[in-house]
Structure 1
Amino acid sequence: MATEGLGSAFTTGGLVGQLAFLLLVLGVMTSRYKSARAFIAVAALIGLCHSILWTGNIVAAFWWGLLMVASLLVLGRRLAENARTRFTVEEEAMLAGVLSALPRSRARHLLDQGFWLSGREGDVLTREEEAVTHLFYLSSGEARVMSHGKRVGTCHAGDLIGEVTVLSGDEASATVILEGPARFWCAPAKVLRPYLAAHEDVRHALEQGFTASLKAKLRASNERIAEAGGVAA
């Protein structure tokens, strides 16, 4: 009996049924909301076809069909929310960059936790050895990065500022000062921390943006070192 059951698992019908469960597993494991719902919806469709065409199990067909309809409804609702969500030109650039891992409706929710400001030359965004009070996204303009009184880098449009320590509450490793007129989005740390603690999907996506921003800064730093002839021994 056990051998017969194992053999049926490798028939066409058996493989189709297993594919449905494989897609369910992938849907649970993926971190992207739309991909997860899509995997589940396709798995439910395959399971429905398997129940009707191969096993003739009407009860299983009902539950697979219900799962498919529920998945499509939730996915459709999220797509409709994304379509209704509006962003400014500055915010669209932010979405294409550091928030690219977030659905538009969730990105809108995150952006609403902060606000947009116009800065002037000499405005200080972070101070070395002081707690970082805000997370900044520089939309336009530049800022110099100072450590122990020396310039160690430059922040450009599209960069995050304070991402390393804003969530941990650690002190800033450098002072960041605007070089001239600038536009930036900022979110208070005291608002951002509890918000991200309550919204794991947003936190995960934002941390991906943090990682990408740090890699870009490291790459730029290495290029500057190379242009200067390398690090002296």
Structure 2
Amino acid sequence: MAAEGLGSIFSTGSLVGQLAFLLLVIGILSTHYKRARAFVAVAALIGLCHALFWTGSIVTAFWWGLLMIAALLVLGRRLVESAKTRFTAEEEPMLAGLLSALPRSRARHLLDQGFWLSGREGDVLTREEETVTHLFYLAGGEARVMSHDKQVGLCRAGDLIGELTVMSGDRASATVVLNGPARFWCAPATVLRPYLAAHDDVRHALEQGFTASLKAKLRASNERIAEASGAAA
């Protein structure tokens, strides 16, 4: 009896049915919107085939088919929205990097919470021991990072500024000053915090971008330290 039970579990029909549920779970757990919907649609298609060709259950086939249609409709709507969404040349790098986990329409919505500014040499973006009031994305130009009147780092195009403290309301650990003409996107903390609290998908994607930015800064800092040590030697 036990052997027969194991045989039914590992039969072709049973494995096909289990595959459908496995893909469904993967889709639910996926943090990438389009990938999640695609997994759900494929899972529903496999489940539909399993119901039609193995179990012969019309009711089960109906629900799998309805799930597949719903997933495809939502995915199609997002694709249409994304195709209609437009970005400027300076926003495209943000879309490819910081906001790569978001659908284009959602990325557009987030960017509209902030605004673009041009900066001049000497403009201060954050000040040490003061509350960070904006999140900055440096699209062009450079900024020096100062702590206790000493330069400890350098921000270049593609870097985030204020990402570690803008959400928490903590004080800045360093002063960031533009080295020359620069172009940057910024979002007020008073707007960004409630917006992200209301949009979990955007918050999660932005947090991934914050983590990637922090890793890049640490890597660049380690490289500068290694270069300085080599020069001293």
* TM-score (normalizing by structure 2): 0.96
Q: What's the offset of the Cα at 1:28?
A: 1.2
What aligned pairs does 1:59-74 form with structure 2 within 5 A after superposition? 59-74=59-74
Q: Is 1:115 equivalent to 2:115 in the alignment?
A: yes
Cα distance in structure 1, aligned partners of 2:60 and 2:68 = 12
Cα distance in structure 1, aligned partners of 2:25 and 2:35 = 12
Q: What's the offset of the Cα at 1:7?
A: 3.0
1:141 and 1:182 in contact (8 A); partners too: yes
Q: Is 1:177 equivalent to 2:205 in the alignment?
A: no
Q: What SS is found at the alignment partner of 2:94? A: helix
Partner of 2:40: 40
Partner of 1:198: 198
Partner of 2:14: 14
What aligned pairs does 1:1-233 form with structure 2 within 5 A after superposition? 4-229=4-229
1:225 and 1:231 in contact (8 A); partners too: no
Instruction: Report Cα offsets for 1:10-68 as digits up to 9, x if no partner.
Output: 11111111111111111111111111111110111011111111111111111111111
Count of equivalent residues: 232
1:122 and 1:179 in contact (8 A); partners too: yes
Q: What is the RMSD computed on CA atoms of the aligned residues?
A: 1.5
AA aligned to 2:86 is R
Q: What SS is found at the alignment partner of 1:89? A: coil
> Taking every aligned residue pair, what percent have the same amino acid on both sides?
82
AA aligned to 1:44 is A
Unmatched 5+ stretches in structure 1: none
Instruction: Report Cα offsets for 1:127-146 as digits up to 9, x if no partner.
Output: 00000000000000001111
1:81 and 1:105 in contact (8 A); partners too: yes
Deviates more, 1:155-164 or 1:90-99: 90-99
Q: What's the offset of the Cα at 1:222?
A: 0.9
AA aligned to 1:50 is H
Unmatched 5+ stretches in structure 2: none
* TM-score (normalizing by structure 1): 0.96
AA aligned to 1:77 is R
